[in-house]
Structure 1
Amino acid sequence: MIVVTRLNDSQFAINPDLIERIHASPDTTLVMVDGAKFIVTESLSEIIEKIARFRAHVISLAYLTQDADYRPGIRSLEIVDGPHSIDEIIEPGSTVPTRPRRI
């Protein structure tokens, strides 16, 4: 989350991943993916800098994690119980049951 300031000097935190675009004419307006708009006192370049610092912080936390099973860049694979292919679900040569159509 990044902290931004409304025109009335109240601050709030916003998820920068949900910002669709930023306008700066003359006030800086954050347009969110859901269409919500927030007018803030920070400049366009300040908002971009806050977003860059936030993302750098998230990446640094990923590398500093103490999780013994976590290794950056390596994803562990696990075997999942249950049917793994359509052949294991449907017997060879059988047909898939269908519902009758309503006309």
Structure 2
Amino acid sequence: MIELTRFDGSKFVLNALLIETIEAHPDTVITLTTGKHYVVREPVEHIVARVIAFHSTIHRHCCVQESACREEAAHG
């Protein structure tokens, strides 16, 4: 999940796993795999960085879980 800002200044949290495209023309428009569109204040580069950080967090968590499971199986 990533936090974004609508043009009216209100904050919302978006499921980054559903992002299909992010475009700037000139406003930043996020299109989800569901077809829904969001116009936000953040520039494309900031959103991409947040999505990468989100995916990195998921990957790190999965690696820690997998490592713990292997360790438990080896000692189990």
Same fold (TM over 0.5): yes
Runs of 4+ more than 3 Å apart: 65-68
Q: Aligned residue for 2:31?
A: 31
Give the corresponding residue for 1:50: 50
TM-score when normalising by structure 2: 0.81
Q: Which runs of 5+ in 2 are unaligned?
A: 71-76
The CA deviation string for residues 32-76 of structure 1, in whole angstroms up to 9 with x for no partner, is 1111110001100001000000000111112233985x23xxxxx
CA RMSD, Structure 1 to Structure 2 (Å): 1.8
TM-score by length of 1: 0.61
Percent of counterpart pairs with the same letter? 31
Distance 2:39 2:9 in 1: 11
Deviation at 1:26, TM superposition (A): 0.6
CA distance in structure 1 between the partners assigned to 2:21 and 2:12 by the alignment: 18
Q: Which has the higher strand share?
A: 2
Matching residue of 2:74: none
Give the structure with higher Rg (CA).
Answer: 1
Q: Figure out how many residues of one structure are paired with residues of the other and give that number.
A: 70
